[in-house]
Structure 1
């Protein structure tokens, strides 16, 4: 689960995933994934730029992304990977079901184990 212990928090962690990982865009989000050499739970970071809106909108977007990850992880846990989910302007207007579908599709395209 994407609880606080399994979050990417430091800028260096986000940059490592961005530079070495695989980037998969979708209408509702952009996923960056970097595999690790362990089977520990996925570490997940969420980011939403100011282009998306003010703080209220950005926080709502982040909450929707976190909940989408929870829904996907309930079905099958994600392990051995660092993920960065980038909220887009389109995240706000997408239905939650479409957002979860976007996440599943991007995980599959990125080749993340547990998302098949």
Structure 2
């Protein structure tokens, strides 16, 4: 579970991350990162559109992505930032290992992790 302090909920924060941040895309996800000067810890949000599938598929995909993001919180910068993970239609049928690999690849491309 993603801790409440690390959840991105505000529409304005999503807008900042999507429009002003940098992005890195893979086959299954696109990650958007915006550095902030706020005292908040890094916050993570998810965008899973209807193109991914019906509500059951979208919710399952979002739960899987949330689990992956929660496991990667310790390696993300602690000084504040906004990370939005946008699922592409290929994320719906992907194996968990493939989805995790895409998230890790995106984080490396953004320069957020070295591993």
TM-score by length of 1: 0.86
Q: State the alpha-carbon separation in 1 of the partners of residues 104 and 71 from structure 2.
A: 10
What is the aligned partner in structure 2 of residue 62 from structure 1?
62
Give every structure 1 segment of 4 or more consecutive aligned residues whose post-TM-superposition deviation is greater than 6 Å.
none
Give the stretch that moved more between structures: 40-49 or 25-34.
40-49
What is the aligned partner in structure 1 of residue 53 from structure 2?
53
TM-fit CA distance, 1:77: 4.5
Q: CA RMSD in A?
A: 1.8
Residues 29-73 of structure 1, C-alpha deviations (whole Å, 9 max, x = no match): 110001123675310001101111111111111001011112323
Q: State the alpha-carbon separation in 1 of the partners of residues 17 and 54 from structure 2.
A: 26
Q: State the alpha-carbon separation in 1 of the partners of residues 89 and 57 from structure 2.
A: 10
Q: State the alpha-carbon separation in 2 of the partners of residues 20 and 77 from structure 1.
A: 19
Q: State the alpha-carbon separation in 2 of the partners of residues 108 and 35 from structure 1.
A: 15
Matches within 5 A, 1:1-20: 2-20=2-20
Give the stretch that moved more between structures: 14-23 or 35-44.
35-44
Matches within 5 A, 1:1-116: 2-37=2-37, 40-73=40-73, 76-79=75-78, 80-112=80-112, 115-116=113-114
Determine if contact 1:28/1:88 at 8 Å carries over to the other structure: yes
